Amino acid sequence: MGIFRRRRRDDEEPTPAGPTAPSEPAVPAVPGTDAEPDEALPFLGVAEARHLRALVRTAFAERGIEVSVHAGHVADDAGRQFGLWNVAAACHQDDRGRAYWPFLVGSHVERVLASMDAPDPFGELSPDEAAARTFVRLYEREAIPRLDGFPFREFAPGLVEMLALDLPDTVAVYDDARAERLGGVDALRAHGLTNLHRQPVEQLERLDLPDGGGAFHVLLGESVHTASRALLLPRLATELTGHESGRHGWLLCVPNRHQVAWHLVRDATVIPVVQAMARFAALGFGDAPGPLSPHLFWWDGGGYQQLSRLDEDGALSIIVSPDFQRVLEELTGGS
């Protein structure tokens, strides 16, 4: 369970910048105020982020652990690092205000410490018990320092699928030895996909673009496995919408663990949908716990191609490969 880390700012995603009216000059942010985004936790203002770090340090101290505070994580004397991204996102999203932050932070620290001190969750499992609780789950590649010794598959640029054991309060990731003892990687992956398919549909939305500009579907849920249902496409789309994929594939984005969005490519509406889904992915990635990818992908029949890019200054652009260009030309009549 200890193979994951939260990114530092220098390898984090840039926050997408909204357009500024050319007739109105941007107002410079006042240093140290919430008008200025924090560098490591950009969805918080500088003052908010400073307050959050102080709460985290206090929460650890109240539990007998002294930590040194850094921009994107805290560290104890034993060298263990605890990322701040998820707890910061949880506080940011909670509509009860800063007065509730100490409770959120304290609860988060309790869960983190409990998971680290708990006995090995794989220790007493039988293969049958493991089969019932195993899921195939998507992870952001940059959040994993190393993959040696862990079964994984490349899913899309920047994303990997791994085997996860579902626990009451968290998940534990299989390493090679545990996977072999509990049935083997192939069998566990098959069980993981079956269990993923059995997950209830919490919320399905169709987002229609203005002026008949097409639409895309979004599956949302509190389950940490929601976004991993991208592994079930195109079957997922057919079961939930009644539509089947054609020879032009589909668009996909998984901004965070609670969202997966798709569009089956059939006609020229793919052009505005690409723009809309790219923005959806970028915004959803930077503003939620469990970020996965800020990018939009296209299934080309054999794998996923990345269609969007975020520059260092946060500018969003679309990447059109020769394969995707041919699809666009065919759907628009070459125009």
pTM of the entire predicted model: 0.73
Burial pattern 153-183, b for ≥16 Cβ within 10 A else e, equals eebbebbbbbbbbbeeebbbbbbeebbeebb
| Lowest-pLDDT range of 10-14, 43-47, 167-171, 261-265 | 10-14
The predicted pLDDT at position 209 comes to 95
DSSP letter at 221 equals: -
| Lowest-pLDDT range of 67-76, 151-160, 218-227, 252-261 | 67-76
- Is pLDDT at 86 greater than 70 in this prediction? yes
Q: Are 199 and 229 in contact (CB under 8 A)?
A: yes
Q: Rounded mean pLDDT of 285-291?
A: 79
Task: Give the pLDDT band of residue 330 (cuts 50, 70, 90).
Answer: very high
Question: Residue 175 corresponds to which tokens in the numbers above?
Answer: 């390493």
Of 166, 218, 159, the closest CA to residue 1 belongs to: 166
User: Which secondary-structure segment (H or E) carries 272?
Assistant: helix 270-285
Highest mean pLDDT among 65-74, 84-93, 178-187: 178-187
> ∠97-98-99 over CA atoms, to 5°?
95
- Is pLDDT at 188 greater than 70 in this prediction? yes
Burial pattern 82-105, b for ≥16 Cβ within 10 A else e, equals bbbbbbbbbbbeeeeeeeebeebb
Mean pLDDT of the chain: 85
User: Which secondary-structure segment (H or E) carries 283?
Assistant: helix 270-285
Highest mean pLDDT among 93-107, 252-266, 312-326: 252-266
Q: Rounded mean pLDDT of 198-207?
A: 96
- Is pLDDT at 225 greater than 90 in this prediction? yes
Per-residue pLDDT tens over the stretch 264-284: 999 999 999 999 999 999 999
